[in-house]
Amino acid sequence: MADNAAAVAGADIVLGVRRPAAELVAGAGRGALVISIADPFGHEAELAELAATGVSAFAMELMPRITRAQVMDVLSSQANLAGYRAVIDASAEFGRAFPMMMTAAGTVPAARVFVMGAGVAGLQAIATARRLGAVVSATDVRPAAKEQVESLGAKFIAVEDEEFKQAETAGGYAKSMSAEYQAKQAALTASHIAKQDIVITTALIPGRPAPKLVSAEMVAAMKAGSVIIDLAVERGGNVEGSVPGEVVTTANGVKIVGHLNV
C-alpha cells in the first residue's frame, strides 16, 4: 500500500500497537473495530475525535490482569521491550563501556546503573544492564519488588516502613505514596544517585501523572557524562527537566533522555 490511510480504507478491523489518529481510521467506515493500546487517560479530546468517526475502539491495556488474559497482556510485552531499549539507549549516550575492563594501561570501573521502578520495564532494564556488565541497584515502593530485584543480582534501595509494606494494589500496581514517604525516599536516594553513572526511571501510576522521582538538585549532584533515561516522559516525566522527544544536556554535563514511543 502507498500509505497507512490506503491500507485502512474499507477495513472492518484495524489493529495497531498504539491508538491510531482519527483521520487515519476515518476511511474504515462506521462500525469498524479499532484494537490497540488506547492510552485513554489524559487524551479525552483525541478519543472524542476517534468516537466521532463511528468506530468502536478496544483499549488492550485495560484487559483484566487474570491468568486467562495473560497472553493478551500488551502492557507487559511493551514494557519489557521498553526496559530493554532504555538500557541500549543509555549505553549509546554513555561515554564508556558498561563492564569493568582491566588492561595493561589500567582498570576502567564498571558503570553504575540505578533503576527507579521495578515493574516489568524496570526488571528488564536491570537484567539487561547486568548482562552488559554494569553494577546495578534499584528501588520501588512495592514490597514484592525487593525479592525480584535481588533475584536479578541488583541491590535494593528503599525506605522500608509501614507505608512501604502496604504500597501495592490488589492488581499488582504501585499505589501513590504520601508526601512524607516521598520525602524520606528522596533523601535516601539523593546521595545514592550522586554516585551513579546511569539512572533509568520507569515509575507510572495508571490514570495519573508520573511521580517526580529525580529533582533538579539530584541531577545537579551527578557527575559530568552521566545519563538519565526517563521512560515516563510522556506522562509528565519522573525527572525534573526531562523534555518529551529530546535529549537535554544540563549545565553540569548530565544527559536527560526523553525519547517518545520507546
Please answer whether residues 215 and 246 qualify as being in contact, where contact means their C-beta atoms are separated by less than 8 angstroms.
no
173 noted as active-site residue: yes
Residue (of 128, 114, 123) closest to 142 by Cα position: 123
70 noted as active-site residue: yes
CA distances in angstroms from 52 to 23, 45, 236, listed in the order given: 10, 11, 28
Residue (of 156, 125, 155, 145) closest to 262 by Cα position: 125
- Dmax (CA) for the chain in angstroms is 70
Catalytic site residue from 65, 96, 131, 208: 65
140 noted as active-site residue: no
Tell me if residue 158 falls in helix, strand or coil.
Answer: coil
> Cell numbers 527507579 correspond to what residue?
116
Residue (of 191, 203, 189) closest to 237 by Cα position: 203
Catalytic site residue from 18, 56, 70, 131: 70
- Spatial distance between the Cα atoms of 191 and 197, rounded to a whole number of angstroms: 13
Catalytic site residue from 39, 84, 130, 173: 173
C-alpha grid cell, residue 72: 493478551
C-alpha grid cell, residue 39: 492510552
Catalytic site residue from 19, 36, 73, 137: 73
Which pairing describes strands 13-18 and 106-108: parallel, antiparallel, or unpaired? unpaired
Q: Which residues are catalytic, by number?
A: 65, 70, 73, 76, 173
